[in-house]
Amino acid sequence: MEIKSKPVRPEGKLGVLTPGMGAVATTFIAGVEAIRKGQAEPIGSLTQMGTIRLGKRTENRIPKIKDFIPLAELEDIIFGGWDIFEDNVYEAALKAGVLHRETLDGIKPFLEGIKPMKAVFDQKYVKKLSGTWVKKGKSWFDLAQQLQNDMVEFKKRNGCARLVVVWCASTEIFIQPSAVHMSLESFEKGLKENDPMIAPSMVYAYAALSQGIPFANGAPNLTVDIPALMELAQKNNVPLAGKDFKTGQTLMKTILAPGLKARLIGLNGWFSTNILGNRDGEVLDDPESFKTKEESKLSVLEYILQPRLYPQLYDRFYHKVRINYYPPRGDNKEGWDNLDIFGWLGYPMQIKIDFLCRDSILAAPIVLDLALFMDLGARLGFKGIQEWLSFYFKSPMHAPGLYPEHDLFIQLMKLKNTLRYIQGEDLITHLGQEYYD
């Protein structure tokens, strides 16, 4: 990552486009507008509330991140997106059932004014949904061009200087990288020939990256995690990031597991189960979509606990993750974790967690931070995978040959050190003299 010059305050509007305008996207949009109106605080957003220590501790320089790094202002964000249902953001937010009607009614005209564009969709990839607000096209390539046209038109219509795309649509079925994904050439051929291994999310990503628009993937789908689209990002100097917003149970795992490892406490088993009743839960009720999510959730512990380095502690732990669709809960998920751990002389202990969580409340500030940081990255000429944004993902994309970093605290240090680096400040290693001077 090379910094040619320090970032300057961006000028003009930033369009944030979300494929998918369901629970997460509408909670994000309504939240930003409520904050802009002074009706709420940006709780959970590192870009808005987080601070960053600079220099030695004795210097007492701890600005807010947003005062340290010139990010787009909330006032300059314009929202847009696509969905397979025609509902405007007010109607979609009411159906999603995350935010109370009173919160939404306070900003109703604004939310009603945001209407989704027609989606690129194929039910083969999301079995549980059947949409009505869907584009028609001769091929994936044709559909990609229609999306590109949407982006160009949106930018023009709203007078935006820059765009970013954050995938907030449903989880697609599990697919593995195959020949068509291996190079840009084979991928573009596949787009024209309607290759069945190309998923709709890839068509959105292709459309964005082709135009130099950053793309972040909030779902566990393969999407941009394929050589073809990484090649496109390199070619066009565009940042990309993914995958799967780190919320709920996995967030808890990446908070707890580093603590257990730090204290060399062993693990025999970690059983996680959830009930949730939103549309995401319904989509994940399909085994093929669940498999995509399961892969994303399972890898976390393996990487944090490093069984190969600590065989006596983590060689044999049993890890199970279940998601149960239970409509009465709506978006208010309940997640139970049972941890069988062991300590000194192998004596067993247990930890039980009952997390009454609101997934979209945890996800919305992630969408905001990703949009602002991806825009920053694009302005600085960062291209390809943005590993410094691993903090936000359950299954962080990483350079080939490297392993992903899952530990929330290492991820945060990496993110903040990247910001220090961007502004030419010393990196903080928490080592050395500052303890003594």
Ligand X SMILES: NC(=O)c1ccc[n+]([C@@H]2O[C@H](COP(=O)([O-])OP(=O)(O)OC[C@H]3O[C@@H](n4cnc5c(N)ncnc54)[C@H](O)[C@@H]3O)[C@@H](O)[C@H]2O)c1
Question: Quick check: 306 and 261 in contact, CB under 8 A?
Answer: yes
- Rounded to a whole number of angstroms, the minimum distance from the CB of residue 169 to ligand X is 3
- Rounded to a whole number of angstroms, the minimum distance from the CB of residue 141 to ligand X is 16
How does strand 348-358 pair with strand 332-342? antiparallel
Cβ neighbours, 10 Å, residue 321:
23
Q: Where would I find the H helices in 79-183?
A: 89-96, 101-105, 108-112, 140-158
Which lies closer to ligand X via its Cβ, residue 121 or residue 325? 121
Beta bridge partners of 338: 271, 352
Which lies closer to ligand X via its Cβ, residue 191 or residue 313? 191
- Rounded to a whole number of angstroms, the minimum distance from the CB of residue 53 to ligand X is 29
The amino acid at residue 52 is I
DSSP category for residue 51: B
- Rounded to a whole number of angstroms, the minimum distance from the CB of residue 86 to ligand X is 10
Residue 127, class by beta-carbon neighbours within 10 Å (0-12 exposed, 13-18 middle, 19+ buried)?
middle
Three-state DSSP state, 193: coil
- Rounded to a whole number of angstroms, the minimum distance from the CB of residue 213 to ligand X is 16
- Rounded to a whole number of angstroms, the minimum distance from the CB of residue 81 to ligand X is 8
- Rounded to a whole number of angstroms, the minimum distance from the CB of residue 33 to ligand X is 17
Closest Cα to residue 373, out of 429, 409, 411? 411
- Rounded to a whole number of angstroms, the minimum distance from the CB of residue 117 to ligand X is 9
- Buried b / exposed e over 356-377, threshold 16 CB at 10 Å, is ebbbbbbbbbbbbbbbbbbbbb
Which lies closer to ligand X via its Cβ, residue 301 or residue 357? 357
Question: Quick check: 26 and 169 in contact, CB under 8 A?
Answer: no
Looking from the CA of 161 toward its CB, the CA atoms found within 13 Å total: 12
Which lies closer to ligand X via its Cβ, residue 28 or residue 314? 28
- Rounded to a whole number of angstroms, the minimum distance from the CB of residue 395 to ligand X is 10
Query: In angstroms, rounded to a whole number, what is the distance separating the alpha carbons of residues 190 and 341?
Result: 48
Residues 6 or more apart whose CB falls under 8 angstroms from that of 161 comprise 10, 11, 12, 13, 14
- Rounded to a whole number of angstroms, the minimum distance from the CB of residue 244 to ligand X is 5
Which lies closer to ligand X via its Cβ, residue 73 or residue 282? 282
What is the chain's Cα-based Rg? 22
- Rounded to a whole number of angstroms, the minimum distance from the CB of residue 436 to ligand X is 43
Which lies closer to ligand X via its Cβ, residue 47 or residue 171? 171
Q: Which residue is nearest to ligand X (CB)?
A: 22
Query: In angstroms, rounded to a whole number, what is the distance separating the alpha carbons of residues 131 and 170?
Result: 12
Query: In angstroms, rounded to a whole number, what is the distance separating the alpha carbons of residues 260 and 300?
Result: 14
Which lies closer to ligand X via its Cβ, residue 339 or residue 362? 362
Which lies closer to ligand X via its Cβ, residue 69 or residue 134? 134
Which lies closer to ligand X via its Cβ, residue 83 or residue 337? 83
Cβ neighbours, 10 Å, residue 233:
25
Looking from the CA of 416 toward its CB, the CA atoms found within 13 Å total: 21
Q: Which run of H or E residues covers position 378?
A: helix 359-380
Q: Which run of H or E residues covers position 119?
A: none
Which lies closer to ligand X via its Cβ, residue 205 or residue 301? 205
Three-state DSSP state, 351: strand
Which lies closer to ligand X via its Cβ, residue 23 or residue 164? 23
Q: Contact residues for ligand X (CB under 6 A)?
A: 19-24, 82-85, 96, 119-121, 126, 129, 168-171, 200, 218-219, 244-245, 247, 278-280, 283, 359-360, 362-363
